[in-house]
């Protein structure tokens, strides 16, 4: 058997002119890119280090202002609450009727044995008050007084509710009535 030889070494091919140019240009581009990146990186580090003092100064000023704002929050809350309450009181006082005449008419009940425990009224003239009468005679005088005011058209729709006789012989009751508009001026 004759010997055969196999040549595994490939012959060197000559590079095309484009490949030759790329072999020269690409390393140059890589070096220039690396240098430009390094220069930009160093410039950014220098810029950050040169402005860090101003940044820290602004940050401390912001922290101080936030502390000042935080300390004023309670004062602002009190101011807001007070303002809203004053507005509500202003609205209520502007729309409310003058109850002086009405209270005077009810206080004229200066009847012996009668005491007014509580009283409430609204702008429409509806009056509710709780009365304690020491005896049935004082309760009769209260009824007579209210009937007289009803005839004079000062009170109307008079109703007595929740009449309770105590062990001591006294009476407690709640009276509701509608006052004339002339008493609300």
User: Residue 172 is part of a domain; what is its CATH number?
Assistant: 3.30.1360.100
Residue 31 lies in a domain: yes
Is residue 167 located within the same domain as residue 106? yes
Q: How many residues does the chain have?
A: 185
Which pLDDT value is given to residue 27?
Answer: 93
Residue 157 lies in a domain: yes
Is residue 75 located within the same domain as residue 21? yes
Phi/psi-derived region of residue 167, left when phi > 0, alpha when psi is between -120 and 50, beta in every other case: alpha
Is residue 24 located within the same domain as residue 86? yes
Which pLDDT value is given to residue 29?
Answer: 95
Task: Give bridge partners of residue 118 from the DSSP assignment.
Answer: 130
**Pick from 42, 61, 95: which residue ends a domain?**
95
How many Cβ atoms sit within 10 Å of the Cβ of residue 51?
11
The boundaries of the domain holding residue 82 are 16-95
Separation of alpha carbons 21 and 11, rounded Å: 22
Sites in the chain below the pLDDT cut of 50: none
**Nearest Cα to 124, choosing from 157, 89, 147?**
157
Is residue 53 located within the same domain as residue 113? no
Which residues fall within 8 angstroms of residue 160, CB to CB, at 6 or more apart? 173, 174, 175
Which pLDDT value is given to residue 178?
Answer: 80
Residue 118 lies in a domain: yes
Residue 34 lies in a domain: yes
Number of domains within the chain = 2
Which pLDDT value is given to residue 26?
Answer: 93
Which pLDDT value is given to residue 175?
Answer: 82
pLDDT in tens, 15-68: 888 888 988 999 999 999 999 999 999 999 999 888 888 889 999 999 999 988
């Amino acid at each position: 058997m004759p010997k055969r030889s196999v040549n595994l070494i490939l012959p060197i091919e000559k590079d095309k002119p484009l490949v030759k140019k790329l072999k020269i240009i690409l390393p140059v581009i890589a070096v220039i890119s690396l240098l430009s990146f390094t220069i930009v990186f160093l410039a950014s580090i220098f810029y950050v280090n040169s402005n860090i003092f101003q940044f820290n100064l602004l940050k401390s000023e912001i922290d101080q202002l936030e502390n000042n704002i935080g300390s004023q929050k309670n004062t602002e809350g009190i101011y807001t609450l007070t303002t809203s309450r004053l507005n509500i009181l202003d609205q209520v006082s502007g729309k409310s009727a003058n109850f002086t005449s009405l209270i005077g008419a009810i206080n004229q009940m200066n009847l012996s044995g009668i005491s007014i425990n509580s009283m409430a009224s609204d702008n429409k003239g509806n009056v509710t008050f709780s009365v304690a009468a020491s005896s049935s005679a004082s309760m009769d005088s209260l009824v007579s007084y209210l009937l007289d005011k009803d005839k004079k058209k000062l009170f109307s729709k008079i109703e007595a509710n929740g009449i309770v006789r105590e062990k001591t012989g006294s009476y407690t009751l709640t009276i509701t009535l509608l006052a004339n508009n002339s008493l609300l001026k």
